[in-house]
Amino acid sequence: MRLAALALLLATIGCGDPSAQRARAIVEEALAGDTAWERLRVLTDTIGARLAGSEAELKAIAWARAEMEKDGVAVRLEPVMVPVWRRGEERAAMVSPTSQPLAILGLGGTVGTSAEGLTAPIVVVGSFEELDALGASKVAGRIVVYDVPWVRGGEEFKEYGTVVRFRGRGASQAAKLGAVGVLVRSVATASLRSPHTGALRYAEDAPRIPAAAVSTEDAALLRRLVEAGQEVRVTMTLGATQEPDRPSSNVVGEIPGRERPDEIVLIGAHLDSWDVGTGAVDDGAGCAMVLETMRLIAKGPPPRRTVRAVLFANEENGLRGGRAYRETHELEMDRHVAALEADSGGARAVGLSGRMGEGGVDLLAQMMSPVLSTLQAERFREGHGGADLSPLGRHGVVRLNLDLDSTHYFDWHHSMADTLDKVDPQELQQATATLGAATWILAEDPRTLPRYTPTDEELDRPSPARRP
């Protein structure tokens, strides 16, 4: 549905309810304007990629603070110490049975190779079980290639977890068996021989070995050669380095509530991005939506509760911003009525999902449907909330996620293709309207969504199933 048709529908809702009228006004202005798009343009085209610890990240923080100040929103910077990982020069190639360059991107946090690089035969696996079955005798001294295809279909964000674990844990699992390096098939739903990076996590009980993402096409080639009985040797050079942590900040804006200022509705996105592309869909679009939501709400009478916006630092390779927020505001957690994150790209909104107590989804639908149905964003369901909100899980804070159409999100995610041209201006404004209306309703409605009892995992302690 295009914006003109949406505007006509909006004229029919909320006629006798001041709260619904205000939500309608927020939606109408978001649909009619282009402020979110213009902010995204500046962030991506003039500041660009902004990995934690980079000079561009500091520029983005200063820019975001100035944007909130310009809109009359009280804003402050809250300190966060972030890791400083530098990619350096990278290259890889197959050297036998034939010579061919491979398209790679070092995984975030990987150690580098020596200046001469690393050359070794490969072994290709499609699961951790397959890796373990080979054993150290067939893995030691080799580069492990994880070729785990990801077929588009279903709910991409849900299925992401089934493949991303090889990127996160693959290096350490292979190192325990004596591997000297790792190549992980890009976690991507589409590719034009474009590798997709992402963070890894080294285990404390395993050697740290170099690890990179390889394009889906190259991963498939390596598998075909091995299955044909060829001995394949690969060389790769990673110039990655790790520097000491440096100071950064969460950017925090606030609109005090008129009746219950101690009750907080948090909205957030992460300001950092990977060092490839310009972070338009991940998560510049979310930042633009949050900034615009604060501007729209600040223009009128404040809602019943306080609205707090947080542009988090270091989501991509450390989650330091989310953890620092929890530590700074530990004593306020019982006053967080809800937390809503926008970190799913820049496409049109289809609804909200989240982690809440019994009956929460039904109540969420009752609260949101009268307005969000006009935006065709009325899919309400259980979920996990965004990554930056996950540290709040130990307190049972209701964690919501702005659900967007994810059809193409993982085509560009964490790659050089994550650029402004992938975001449709009208879809971005529709998503902004959805976030703005949802934020207003959460902060204004007398009802609150039920909290939940945290799981062992949310309490940061081993669950019975994971204990030795």
Whether a cis peptide bond, with omega within 30° of 0, leads into 18 is no
In whole angstroms, what is the distance from residue 27 CA to residue 11 CA?
11
Report residue 117: phi and psi, to 5°: 85, -175
Question: CB neighbours (10 Å) of residue 334?
Answer: 11
Amino acid in position 409: Y
Tell me which residue has tokens 């739903």.
189
Nearest to 308 by CA among 382, 222, 392: 392
Give Cα separations from 254 to 65, 303, 311 (angstroms).
12, 12, 12
Contact 428/3 with Cβ under 8 angstroms? no
Q: 57, 254, 315, 427: which one is catalytic?
A: 315
Backbone angles phi, psi at 115, to 5 degrees: -60, -30
Active-site annotation holds for 315:
yes
Stated as kind and residue range, the H or E segment containing 163 is helix 156-175
Residue 38 DSSP code: H
Distances (CA, A) of 401 to 131, 204, 334, 385, 454: 35, 32, 20, 5, 18
Catalytic amino acids? 315
